[in-house]
Amino acid sequence: MISATIGFIGGGNMAASIIGGLLASGVPGNHIRVGEPNAKSRDKLQALGDIQVGADNDAVISQSDIVVLAVKPQVMRSVLESLATPLRERRPLLISIAAGVTTGAMNDWLGDNLAIVRCMPNTPALLQSGATGLFANAAVSDTQRQQAGAILEAVGLAVWVEKEVQLDAVTAVSGSGPAYFFLMMEAMQASGEKLGLDADTARQLTLQTALGAARMALEGDVDVAELRRRVTSPNGTTERAIGLFEQGGLRQLVEQALTGARDRADELAKELEGE
């Protein structure tokens, strides 16, 4: 059970997904506060439930045991520098969800050595089906580690990594990952339509197939390669399709794409630290 008060600095897409998941998991709305400058985003957040939403970050910090930093990487420095004094005084556990912003850079900008759990969640957190990688810096106590783990477990799978650099690989696999599956679904829907299905039928068949495949992979006792083989009848239709995917270099393309995402996280860190 999460009894701490949780304040979010930044209430955009990813914060809304986590907040929606926390509320669905039973965290009371009056334990959640958000500081968000954009009035439209505040309205969207307020629609999630009976949480305290405002534009005043200082008020959020003064009322929170845990502060989730959910702003874009590019504004993290200015946000932390502007909030350094109240954060240094109150010393809440900080949880950052920003891609490519290291705990070292955050503490440099704060001018202190605060407890920071850096994590990489993903948007399915909204449906409590998220996947998050977490890393704790040396200032994080066992209790704080448990608190951070409990928050992210409330919205899905939470996995700790030993080295901070591994979070860039987590970003490439699961942080950005939902977008890869959405792209595949977009492409399958479009192909279904080209092959003569109406848009709604193509959509329904694609989405249900994605759900069914993910459930079999998660709930079954065989690996995904074996599940793929079981669909692939010798000399059948799947064999033709899979052969064309392999011939087109799908595996190499996936590796290149994930390496690109990992490298972009590393670049972001260097760009932000060089500022």
State the binding site for NADPH.
Answer: 57
What is the closest distance, in whole angstroms, from the C-beta atom of residue 99 to ligand A1CAB in the complex? 4
CB of 205: closest distance to ligand A1CAB in angstroms? 27
Q: Which does 92 bind (CB under 5 to 8 A by kind): ligand NDP, ligand A1CAB, none?
A: none
User: In this chain, which residue has its C-beta nearest to ligand A1CAB?
Assistant: 175
> DSSP for 166-180?
HHHHHIIIIISHHHH
Q: How many CB atoms lie within 10 A of CB 207?
A: 13
Residue 70 touches which member of ligand NDP, ligand A1CAB, none, C-beta under 5-8 Å by kind: ligand NDP
* Beta-carbon-side half-sphere exposure of residue 220 (alpha carbons within 13 Å): 14
Q: Indicate the SS3 state at residue 45.
A: helix
Residue 132 within binding range of ligand A1CAB, rule CB under 6 A? no
Q: How far from 26 is each of 4, 12, 49, 155, CA to CA, in Å? A: 13, 21, 12, 11
Least distance in angstroms from the C-beta of 15 to ligand NDP: 6
Q: Contact with ligand NDP (CB under 6 A): which of 93, 98, 155, 269?
A: 98
Please check whether residue 34 is in contact with residue 53, taking contact to mean a CB–CB distance below 8 angstroms: yes
Which of these ranges, 95-103, 151-159, 196-204, 229-237, lies near ligand NDP under the rule CB under 6 A? Answer: 95-103
Nearer to ligand A1CAB, 93 or 99 (CB): 99
Query: How many residues are there in the chain?
Result: 275
Closest residue by Cα to residue 118 from 130, 105, 129, 102:
102
Q: Which residues contact 103 (CB under 8 A, 6 or more apart)?
A: 96, 116, 118, 135, 137, 164
Number of H helices, E strands in the chain: 12, 8
Give the x-and-dash track for 136-175 against ligand A1CAB (CB under 6 A).
-----------------------------------x---x
47 binds ligand NDP (CB under 6 A): no
Residues 178-237 that bind ligand NDP (CB under 6 A): none
Nearest-angstrom CA–CA distance, 52 and 28: 11
From ligand A1CAB, ligand NDP, none, interface partner of 35 (C-beta below 5 to 8 A by class): ligand NDP
Give the span between the Cα atoms of 6 and 33, in whole angstroms: 6
46-54, 120-128, 142-150, 205-213 -> range binding ligand NDP (CB under 6 A): 120-128
Q: Does 37 bind ligand NDP (CB under 6 A)?
A: yes
Which positions make up the binding site for NADP(+)? 9-14, 70-73
Per the CB < 8 A criterion, the answer to whether 174 and 120 are in contact is: yes
Which one of residues 5, 6, 10, 110 is an interface residue with ligand NDP (CB under 6 A)? 10
Where along the sequence are the contacts to ligand NDP (CB under 6 A)?
9-15, 35-38, 41, 57, 70-73, 75, 79, 97-99, 120-123, 175
